[in-house]
Structure 1
Amino acid sequence: MKRVVICFFAFLALAYGRHEKYEGHQLFQLSGPAREIGSLEGKLDILSAKPAARVESNQLQALVRLSPEVKQQWLRYFDERQITYKKVVDNLAEAFRDEDSQIEAARESAKRSGRNIGWDTYYRHQEINDHLDALAAQYPNLVTVINPALSYEGRQIKYVRISTTRFEDLRKPVIIIDAMVHAREWVTTPVALYIINQLVVDAVDSQLTQDIDWIIIPLANPDGYEYTHDEDRLWRKTRSKSHPGSDQCPGVDGNRNFDHYWGTSESSANPCSIIYEGPSAFSEPEIRVIRDVVNQHLERAAMYISLHSYGNMFLYAWGNNGTLPSNGLALHLAGVTMATAIDSLALDNAPRYVVGNAAQVLYFTSGTSRDWTRAVGIPLTYTLELPGYEYLFEVPAQYVEQIVKETWAGIAAGAHYVRSIFG
């Protein structure tokens, strides 16, 4: 009992120290013209953005973090530009400490039950890699774990190939899914792991593995992810230090590092910006893993989805200028198919999914995986913004099971769409 008490107080001390930098920081929900909200992306930490309402043209909502030092000047800025705002979190540090307590309780419960990976908490990088290796050992005829590269700090990035034909049947379409490009979006990795589980362990629909080959990267940015657990819960970027100014401002936004209109956004050129694009396209080893996977299977790749959080959206190209690809109708139809399946299982308080062009739904972006994968030839490519419910981007562990299950319904619907068109 004494040891348990000591461990508990050690955990509390760690949690308080880790989150101290956000003491007194507040979250505000903004509503205003899309142009005004979009212009803030390189200046403020926008935790999410989404359409304010479907009936309101060019109006967005955004969740932003304001420190005590800058809060008043930004509130005046919002007033001057007719951006309305309301406070939704009074003390971010306290919210993070509550999250830590919930996760710790869920992990202890999982240990007592003897589970390896469950759907009611979050796991660390090594635990996730061990789980993938265990699946490959248990299902050698279906699962292959690939170890393509190390992250900047030397962590192994793994992905799984799921195939009944060992990727040798060149007639089968390929679906590629990645998660955790943005380190703080913790709920994306459980979704990727649950997709693997449904295809391999539960094998709920054999057609999806008989007719489709899958590549799933559950944790694309392990350095950033570990840093969010140990140091800074809101860290978004990689942890590289290969660019000018990296001593003061390390890391690159992985979803601005792809070679599609890279280097065309002034707000992404600042190394200290949360959306810093990097010193060159594909400068990050983590992003080169995704690039190489896509290029290796480009002839058969039919769908690519990058999991992000949060916003309840399927976003498609072109995000850099708001025009549509030549297959814009098919992109929209497949997106609606997936969104409808998710909405059918969503909780009552969840907003319905929005499907649309990224620039038209939100604002212009460059260097994204969604646009690059469409540009190189994958027909159906999306940024999937998962739900946050009333907890916004900081999804409590007890909501994970709901999100993974409803999202799987959407992924399965999208896969059947792929079967019908490309199979």
Structure 2
Amino acid sequence: MKVLGLVFLIVAVAYAKHEQFRGWKSLYLKPTSQEQLKLIGALADAYEVDIISHPILEREGVVLVKPQHLDGFVGALEEQDVSYRVHANDVKAKNETRARSGRQLPYDNYQDLEVIDAYLDDIAARYPNLVTLVEPATTFEGRPIKYLKISTTNFQDTSKPVIFIDGGIHSREWISPPTVTWAIKKLVEDNRFWRKTRSTDQHSLSYLCPGVDGNRNYDFAWNTVGTSSNPCTDTYGGSRYGASGAAEDYAHSVGVPLSYTYELPGLSWGFEGFHLNPRYIEQVCIETWEGIVVGARRAGDLFVPLP
């Protein structure tokens, strides 16, 4: 099987630069009425609170609070009898669960972008007959976009489908990139197989608050539930769908006929929101790989080679 393993690691601010979170606290909030739910939204705007996972009635959400706003925000919650508890006393310290260096990627920790890039470089150098490293363009901020082409025939055998794997669209979902590098590991080494974007939108405030939420910028049910029209929020859906470009544009340009998306573990599975405990990384990668195998087999069943 020919496989194109594409790693679009759009992981700018939230993934690589969390020094700014020193002294921040994260809190669980659990509203018990619609009034409390609306109050949380209003307080989030008033105190510049970053909602990591939205609370709903009788289910906790997680928010980040700046140190200068903590007393005011907590005081307002207590005044309105909104249930809360501490998720992390120091967000920066909690985020320090990433590996620092090394070409072989361990799966007991999260990796910096430069570590993943070094891994891609190393894989291409060690397996030149199987892997080709491609840098077709740069991101909006000028970073090189890298992906690997993996094929035993250098894509000369047109009787087999090409499979395109894309990870890291949502910059807060740290578990996504490891599932893609795990797929590379399985294919090559085992001989098998910021929440927002960084681009400016058409909105007049986009140069002050760049990017759109890549998870909320598709044409299906665009700008409906769980999204914001304010470009300075993390759930901004864009002035139009497709504004984030990148992966969707590439998929359209090469005529991808079949696609599916994985919903990886998060808060609803009982873990800690976007920051999945590192001890689960390898298990998530193993389970996701099994899904990739099933999807690849189905693509092969449906594939009709060009005459």
1:310 matches 2:266: yes
Aligned mates of 1:311, 1:419 — CA distance in 2 = 34
Q: Find the counterpart in structure 1 of residue 22 from structure 2.
A: 20
1:237 matches 2:225: no
Distance 1:37 1:251, change over 3 A: same
In the alignment, which of 202, 218, 223 is matched to residue 258 of structure 1? 218
Q: TM-score scaled by structure 2?
A: 0.70
How far off its partner does 1:274 sit? Answer: 1.3
Aligned mates of 1:128, 1:165 — CA distance in 2 = 25
How far off its partner does 1:172 sit? Answer: 3.0
- Asked whether the equivalents of residues 135 and 146 of structure 2 are also in contact (C-alpha less than 8 Å), the reply is yes
Distance 1:410 1:31, change over 3 A: farther
How far off its partner does 1:154 sit? Answer: 0.3
Aligned mates of 1:16, 1:257 — CA distance in 2 = 25
Distance 1:62 1:176, change over 3 A: farther
Distance 1:21 1:278, change over 3 A: farther
How far off its partner does 1:155 sit? Answer: 0.4
1:412 matches 2:293: yes
Distance 1:16 1:249, change over 3 A: closer
Q: Find the counterpart in structure 2 of residue 70 from structure 1.
A: 73
Aligned mates of 1:281, 1:17 — CA distance in 2 = 32
The 5-angstrom pairing of residues 7-406 of structure 1 reads 18-20=20-22, 22=24, 25-30=25-30, 45-48=50-53, 61-65=59-63, 67=65, 68=70, 69-73=72-76, 85-87=83-85, 89-91=87-89, 93=90, 95-100=91-96, 102-103=97-98, 106-107=99-100, 115-204=103-192, 235-241=194-200, 243-260=203-220, 262=222, 267-284=227-244, 288-298=245-255, 301-305=257-261, 310-311=266-267, 351=269, 390-406=271-287
**Alignment gaps of 5+ in structure 2:** 1-16
Aligned mates of 1:45, 1:418 — CA distance in 2 = 40
1:289 alignment partner AA: A
Q: TM-score scaled by structure 1?
A: 0.53
Aligned mates of 1:17, 1:126 — CA distance in 2 = 17
How far off its partner does 1:150 sit? Answer: 1.2
Aligned mates of 1:281, 1:168 — CA distance in 2 = 36
More helix by share: 1
2:293 alignment partner AA: A
Q: Find the counterpart in structure 1 of residue 4 from structure 2.
A: none
How far off its partner does 1:156 sit? Answer: 0.9
Aligned mates of 2:261, 2:78 — CA distance in 1 = 36
Aligned mates of 1:195, 1:156 — CA distance in 2 = 21
1:276 alignment partner AA: Y
Distance 1:392 1:17, change over 3 A: closer
Aligned mates of 2:131, 2:200 — CA distance in 1 = 34
Distance 1:390 1:289, change over 3 A: closer
How far off its partner does 1:65 sit? Answer: 0.6
1:239 alignment partner AA: R
SS of residue in 1 equivalent to 2:142: coil
Identity of aligned residues (%): 34
How many residues align structurally?
276
Aligned mates of 1:244, 1:138 — CA distance in 2 = 47
1:70 alignment partner AA: F
How far off its partner does 1:194 sit? Answer: 0.5
How far off its partner does 1:132 sit? Answer: 1.6
How far off its partner does 1:199 sit? Answer: 1.2
Flag the structure with more relative contact order, 1 or 2, with Cα contacts below 8 A and sequence separation at least 6.
Answer: 2
